[in-house]
Structures are given as C-alpha cells and as structure tokens.
C-alpha cells in the first residue's frame, strides 16, 4: 500500500489520538471534591483510657500515659472536620457497658437516615490470647484489687483481668454492624489492633509483626500475595456483592504492640493521625480519607519512629517498631472533611 | 490526580511510540488477510465507574497498557491472550463522602471472536474473561478478581506523511470489562491505540 492511498486512514487515526487526549484532559478536571458538601449526618464515638486504675498516676502500669490525651485531641479535631462527636468516653467513663450502649444509641440518632456515617476511635490497652484472638480492654476490664507491690521504688497496683469485659473483633463488629449506617469507620490505637482489621476479600501484605531486629520488615508483592490465596480471592470477589465493608485502621499489626510517645504527648500512631489532617491530603482534593491518613501515618512511623525506637530496652526480641494496617474492601471514606 | 498525570504520560508515551518506532514501518495492506500468530501492543485511557449496593455509579478514570498475542484464521480468532498493566484512580465522591479506592494491577485475559473485513482494515469482535491481581493503590491490601471482557478492535495500515511516510498497522480498540470486585462492581470502558508488532523473518537491509 502506498503512502498516498492510506491518507484518509492516517487522518482518522490522528483524529482518534486527539480524541483520546481530549477525553483525558476533560477527565483530569472532573473528580475533585468540588460540589460535594460535608454532610451533617456523620457521628463519632471517641474513647481514650489512660487510667485503668484511677488511684494511681498515669504511666504506672497498667495505666497508660497519653490515651486520654489522644481521645481529647481526636475528638476536638473530628469536631472541626465534619463529624458530630456525640460521645467522648475518657478513663473511668469508658466501660464495656458505656461503649456498647453508646454505639447502640447511634441507631436511634440515625433513625431512618440511610446515608449516615459512624466512626469509633479507641486508644487504650489491647491484648491477645493464646488462641490469637485480639481484644481491646475497656476501663473495667482491669480490676484494681486494692493492694500493691513495689518495683524499683515505684508502687504498682495489684490487678486482675476481667475477661468478660474485654471486647473481641467479632463483638465490636456486631455492635457497629447493628447500626443502620451507610458507612462505618473504626480506628484503633492499641496493641495487637491489627487483629481487628478485616482483610475483606484481600490479603494483607504488611507483616503481622514488623520487626527490624527479627528481619520481618518485607511486605509481600502484588503477584505473590494474590497467588497465595488466588482461587479463594477470585471466588469471594465474584460472590459477595452485598453489605459495605467496615473501613478499619489500626496502629499495629495483629501480633505487635503500639506505643505511647512521650515526645509528642500522644500515641505514636495517633500523633501522625492527628497530623494527617493538615498534611495527609495526598491527592489534593480537599479531603483526607481513611486510606490517606493510613498512608501518611505509615510513612511517618516507618521513617521517623521505627528507626529511632528499634529496640526495647536493648532487647532484640521485644521491639518498639511497628506498622499501621488498614482493612481491605473497595471503599474509602473522608476522615477529615473541613 | 497522580493517576491522571500518569495516564497523560502513558498516552504521550504511546503516541511517541507510535510516531517514532521505525520497526513497524513497511507493513502492507495484506495485514488484514494475514493468518497465523500476531502480536501487538496497545494502551490508552479507561473510564471505570464503580457501584455497590449502597450507592449509584461513581465515575473514575485510569489507563492501561496491554501486550496481546493471538492466532488469527481467515474469519475468526480462536484465541487471543492479553497481558496488561492497569491503574484506576479513586472514584468521585458520593453525598456521604464515600468513594471507591484507587487500585492497580496486572491482568491476564483470554478472548475469542470474529474477524471481519472493514474498509482497508479488519474489525475484530472478541469476548472472553480475565483475572487480575490488584493492589489498592498505596495500601497494604492485595486482591484477585475475575472479569468479563468484550473488545472491538480495528486494525488498519497507516502512513504518517510528516514522519517520512512512516507506515505501520495501527490498532484502535474499545475494550469493555465488567470487574467482579467483592462488594463493588466496576465497568471499565477504554479507548486504546496500538500497533501490530511484526515478528518478521528477515527484512530490508
């Protein structure tokens, strides 16, 4: 075929190129948050427990140092970022019963509004049992026995765990899923909180215990992770059009601890969660989503916290380093929406 | 925004690739009638809206690049295999400030269909299925999903006069894909441009 005879086809082809470029230019302008106003039906419960034993100072085990500060700061921030903070439970207010009741009351608050969102934030102790079941521990999940012991000239309370008050992922999920909200967000700054993060038809590529000392820092690649459970992933993704997944964000993996950070006055994770409101909008659309907050916190914990706090008191087995995790599922929600 | 920037870059690279690659010159109008194994590379933009049980369709944009190999007979293509890379950006927001996450991944597809003559070129009408390994962009979660695929592909010989008469067999394709993504479904419609890669035995010296 000669060049001359193919001229009409060439012109068509070039025209098609311009058409595609025009479509791309138009698309680049179309997906910002412009035109979407922050709705008023976003409700939050914020929980922070430093004082499990109120008669002892913060930082005296089992008391923590900054969880109540975490809750106060998160509640204030969320209140300015598009959430109605209906409940803030701090220290002795944050019992198993009040947490359960406050989550349940969201159903009444929401009423028949099928477009509402709820958020639960928790900062406090977490634990894991021998079977690998993780827990968050309400204030009345640890009982002060009224006696004490002395270690290194510091007086500590003798305590007993009340396991009936500890909250499992299944329990917390059932409470939140009973609320007829369109969107549900769960954020946990506690040890072993990765156990509350459901993979939801996906595979978590971050290690359950991120440890520089143990060399467990590698994250699995896309193909390897997908092939590890390929048939099951494909089958469940084919079948499960239905309820919207809970969007969960955890400070730590399912087999590691998270930490208070004296230098910031907050939990190490919550410190960056707070800062994400100002610096975490990676796509510049005006909102910081849960996924963007996760990415911001993870990047900064990996770059700033983990190298500095690699070891725990010189041990090579009890490391301070950790990584946040986020749940699977296709959805994302604006966490900070000024 | 980053994804859209990358989409622009992909389009620009594709256009540059099409306009500069001398390896594809010298093809002829016999291409439409050729039989046997053929390979090609293409890329372009994707409009990929998603929906779930709680929200209407939320639009998103992305891009893909695909390498294909097929066995062509006179009036049909018994098997076409595609290996591609794709990236879909975050969707638009719904009224509750929900959106679908961005995701990217690798895609392997198998298609079959008819091969028709149309003008100076060839129109292929293909249907098939694909599986993808996909990561939510920037996150720690990876998944795998299946999709149903349909594709209209038009191949025609093209000469670019302002590049010294550079000639090649060009492809314009409209891939349509329905992605089964757990609690969401995505409909991906694309507009791809590409070239047939001649696996020539010998050539001009």
CATH code for the domain in which residue A50 is found: 3.40.50.1460
Predicted pLDDT at A255 = 87
Residue B101 banded pLDDT, cuts 50, 70, 90? very high
Search chain A and give the residue with CA nearest B173.
A16
Q: Residue B101 is nearest to which of A206, A236, A291, comparing CB atoms?
A: A291
Three-state DSSP class for A215? coil
Burial class (CB in 10 A: 0-12, 13-18, 19+), B116: middle
Q: How far is B71 from chain A (nearest CA, A)?
A: 24
> Are the beta carbons of A236 and B100 separated by less than 8 Å?
no
Question: What is the set of domains in chain B, with CATH numbers?
Answer: 2-197 (2.40.160.20)
ipTM confidence:
0.88
Which one, of B199, B5, B18, B9, lies nearest residue B102 by Cα? B5
User: Which residues in chain B are closer than 8 Å to A295, comparing Cβ atoms?
Assistant: 138-139
> Are the beta carbons of A20 and B11 separated by less than 8 Å?
yes
Average model confidence (pLDDT) for chain B? 84
Cα distances (Å, whole numbers) of residue B142 to B51, B77, B104, B138: 20, 33, 10, 11
What's the DSSP call for residue A302? I
- For the cut 70, the answer to whether the pLDDT of residue B30 exceeds it is no
Report percent pLDDT > 70 for chain B.
80
Report percent pLDDT > 90 for chain B.
68
Residue B162 banded pLDDT, cuts 50, 70, 90? confident
Residue A37 lies in a domain: no
> What average pLDDT does this structure show over A126-140?
95
Residue A255 lies in a domain: yes
- For the cut 80, the answer to whether the pLDDT of residue B136 exceeds it is yes
Predicted pLDDT at A21 = 53
Residue A310 banded pLDDT, cuts 50, 70, 90? low
User: Which residues in chain A are closer than 8 Å to B7, comparing Cβ atoms?
Assistant: 24, 27
Residue A35 lies in a domain: no
Three-state DSSP class for B58? strand
Search chain A and give the residue with CA nearest B180.
A238
- For the cut 50, the answer to whether the pLDDT of residue B205 exceeds it is no
Helices then strands, counting H and E runs in chain B, come out as 1, 11
Predicted pLDDT at A259 = 87
Report percent pLDDT > 90 for chain A.
68
Search chain A and give the residue with CA nearest B171.
A13
Three-state DSSP class for B88? strand
User: Which residues in chain B are closer than 8 Å to A3, comparing Cβ atoms?
Assistant: 159, 161, 165, 167
Please report the number of interchain residue pairs, chain A to chain B, with beta-carbon separation below 8 angstroms: 246
SS3 per residue for chain B: CHHHHHHHHHHHHHHHHHHHCHHHCCCCHHHHHCCEEEEEEEEEEEECCEEECCEEEECCEEEEEEEEEEEECCCEEEEEEEEEEEEECCCCCCCCCEEECCEEEEEEEEEEEEEEEECCEEEEEEEEEEEEEEEECCCCEEEEEEEEEEEEEEEEEEEEHHHCCEEEEEEEEEEEEEEEECCEEEEEEEEEEEEEECCCCCCCC
> Are the beta carbons of A9 and B120 separated by less than 8 Å?
yes
Residue A229 lies in a domain: yes
Residue A9 lies in a domain: no
A204 shares contact with chain B (CB less than 8 Å): yes
> What average pLDDT does this structure show over A28-33?
48
User: Which residues in chain A are closer than 8 Å to B60, comparing Cβ atoms?
Assistant: 31
- For the cut 80, the answer to whether the pLDDT of residue A134 exceeds it is yes
Q: What is the pLDDT of residues A317-328, one digit of tens each?
A: 456 788 999 999
Q: Which residue has the higher pLDDT, B164 or B122?
A: B122
Burial class (CB in 10 A: 0-12, 13-18, 19+), B151: buried
Residue A24 lies in a domain: no
Rounded CA-CA distance B200/B23 in Å is 10
Predicted pLDDT at A262 = 79
Q: How far is B201 from chain A (nearest CA, A)?
A: 20
Q: Residue A326 is nearest to which of B121, B140, B145, comparing CB atoms?
A: B140
Rounded to 5°, the CA angle B166-A11-B12 comes to: 70
- For the cut 60, the answer to whether the pLDDT of residue B110 exceeds it is yes
Phi, psi of A207 (to 5 degrees): -65, 145
Helices then strands, counting H and E runs in chain A, come out as 9, 15
- For the cut 90, the answer to whether the pLDDT of residue B144 exceeds it is yes
Q: How many domains does chain A have?
A: 1
* Bond before A62 cis per omega within 30 degrees: yes
Q: How far is A40 from chain B (nearest CA, A)?
A: 9
A222 shares contact with chain B (CB less than 8 Å): yes
% helix, strand, coil for chain B, step of 5? 15, 65, 20
Residue A198: how many other CB atoms lie within 10 Å: 18
Residue A31 lies in a domain: no
What's the DSSP call for residue A216? B
- Provide DSSP, A224-244: HHHHHTHHHHHHHHHH--SSP
Helix H or strand E segment including B38: strand B36-47
Burial class (CB in 10 A: 0-12, 13-18, 19+), B202: exposed
> Are the beta carbons of B101 and A332 separated by less than 8 Å?
yes
User: For residue A296, what are its two tokens?
Assistant: 């911001």
Phi, psi of A77 (to 5 degrees): -65, -50
A38 shares contact with chain B (CB less than 8 Å): yes
% helix, strand, coil for chain A, step of 5? 35, 25, 40
Of A41-45, A260-264, B55-59, B64-68, the range with the lowest mean pLDDT is A260-264
Residue A15 banded pLDDT, cuts 50, 70, 90? low
Which one, of A329, A225, A330, lies nearest residue B133 by Cα? A225
On whether the CB atoms of residues A292 and A187 are closer than 8 A, the answer is no
- For the cut 80, the answer to whether the pLDDT of residue B18 exceeds it is no
> What average pLDDT does this structure show over A57-85?
96
Of A289-298, B92-101, B157-166, the range with the lowest mean pLDDT is B157-166
> What average pLDDT does this structure show over A232-261?
89
Q: Which residue has the higher pLDDT, B28 or B63?
A: B63
> What average pLDDT does this structure show over B35-58?
94
User: Which residues in chain B are closer than 8 Å to A29, comparing Cβ atoms?
Assistant: none
Residue B1 banded pLDDT, cuts 50, 70, 90? very low
Q: How far is A283 from chain B (nearest CA, A)?
A: 6
On whether the CB atoms of residues B84 and A316 are closer than 8 A, the answer is no
Rounded CA-CA distance B111/A225 in Å is 26
Three-state DSSP class for A193? helix
Q: What is the pLDDT of residues B47-85, one digit of tens each?
A: 999 999 998 899 999 999 999 999 999 899 999 999 999
Search chain A and give the residue with CA nearest B182.
A237
What's the DSSP call for residue A5? G
> Are the beta carbons of A3 and B165 separated by less than 8 Å?
yes
Predicted pLDDT at A320 = 78
Average model confidence (pLDDT) for chain A? 88
> Are the beta carbons of B92 and A31 separated by less than 8 Å?
yes
> Are the beta carbons of A227 and B52 separated by less than 8 Å?
no
Q: What is the pLDDT of residues A172-228, one digit of tens each?
A: 999 999 999 999 999 999 999 999 998 878 999 988 888 877 788 888 888 888 899
Domain span at residue A211 reads 42-336
Residue to substitute from A248, A330, A334, A336, interface B, most B β-carbons within 10 A: A330
Residue A19 lies in a domain: no
Rounded CA-CA distance A257/A91 in Å is 20
On whether the CB atoms of residues A165 and A142 are closer than 8 A, the answer is no
Residue A4 banded pLDDT, cuts 50, 70, 90? very low
Q: Which residue has the higher pLDDT, A259 or A75?
A: A75
Q: How far is B132 from chain A (nearest CA, A)?
A: 9
């Amino acid at each position: 075929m000669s060049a001359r005879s193919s001229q009409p086809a060439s012109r068509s082809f070039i025209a098609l190129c311009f058409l595609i470029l025009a479509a791309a230019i138009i698309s680049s302008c179309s997906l910002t948050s412009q035109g979407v106003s922050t709705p008023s039906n976003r409700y939050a419960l914020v929980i922070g427990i430093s004082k499990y034993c109120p008669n002892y100072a913060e930082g005296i085990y089992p008391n923590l140092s900054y969880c109540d500060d975490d809750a106060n700061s998160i509640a204030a921030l969320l209140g300015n970022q598009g959430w109605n903070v209906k409940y803030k439970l701090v220290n002795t207010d944050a019992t198993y019963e009040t947490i359960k009741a406050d989550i349940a009351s969201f159903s009444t608050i929401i009423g028949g509004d099928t477009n509402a969102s709820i958020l639960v934030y928790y900062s406090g102790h977490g634990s894991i049992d021998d079977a690998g079941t993780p827990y968050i521990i309400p204030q009345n999940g640890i009982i002060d026995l009224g006696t004490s012991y002395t270690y290194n000239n510091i007086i500590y309370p003798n305590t007993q765990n009340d396991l009936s008050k500890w909250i499992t992922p299944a329990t917390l999920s059932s409470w939140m899923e009973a609320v007829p909200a369109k969107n549900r967000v769960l954020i946990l700054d506690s040890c072993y909180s990765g156990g509350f993060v459901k993979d939801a038809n996906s595979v978590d590529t971050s290690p359950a215990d991120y440890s520089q000392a143990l060399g467990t820092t590698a994250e699995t690649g896309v193909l390897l992770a997908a092939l590890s459970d390929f048939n099951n992933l494909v089958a469940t993704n084919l079948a499960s059009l239905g309820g919207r997944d809970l969007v969960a964000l955890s400070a730590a993996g399912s087999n590691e601890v998270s930490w208070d950070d004296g230098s910031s006055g907050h939990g190490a994770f919550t410190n960056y969660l707070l800062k994400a409101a100002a610096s975490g909008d990676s796509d510049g659309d005006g909102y910081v989503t849960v996924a963007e907050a996760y990415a911001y916190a993870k990047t900064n914990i990996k770059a700033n916290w983990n190298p500095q706090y690699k070891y725990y008191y010189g041990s090579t087995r009890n490391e301070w380093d950790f990584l946040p995790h986020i749940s699977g599922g296709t959805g994302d929600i604006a966490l900070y929406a000024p | 925004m980053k994804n859209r920037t990358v989409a622009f870059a992909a389009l620009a690279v594709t256009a540059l690739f099409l306009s500069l690659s001398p390896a594809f010159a010298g093809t002829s109008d016999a291409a439409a009638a050729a039989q046997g194994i053929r390979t090609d590379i293409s890329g372009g933009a994707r409009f990929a809206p998603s929906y779930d049980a709680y929200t209407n369709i939320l639009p998103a944009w992305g891009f893909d690049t695909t390498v294909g190999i097929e066995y062509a007979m006179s009036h049909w293509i018994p098997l076409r295999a595609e290996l591609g890379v794709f990236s879909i950006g975050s969707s638009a927001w719904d009224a509750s400030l929900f959106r679908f996450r961005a995701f990217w991944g690798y895609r392997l597809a198998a298609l079959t269909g008819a091969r028709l003559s149309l003008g100076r070129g060839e129109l292929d009408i293909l249907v098939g299925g694909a599986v993808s390994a996909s990561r939510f962009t920037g996150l720690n979660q990876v998944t795998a999903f299946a999709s149903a695929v349909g594709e209209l592909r038009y191949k025609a010989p093209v000469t670019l006069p302002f590049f010294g008469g550079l000639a090649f067999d060009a492809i314009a394709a409209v891939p349509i894909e329905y992605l089964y993504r757990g609690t969401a479904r995505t409909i991906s419609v694309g507009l791809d441009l590409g070239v047939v890669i001649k696996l020539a035995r010998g050539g001009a010296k």
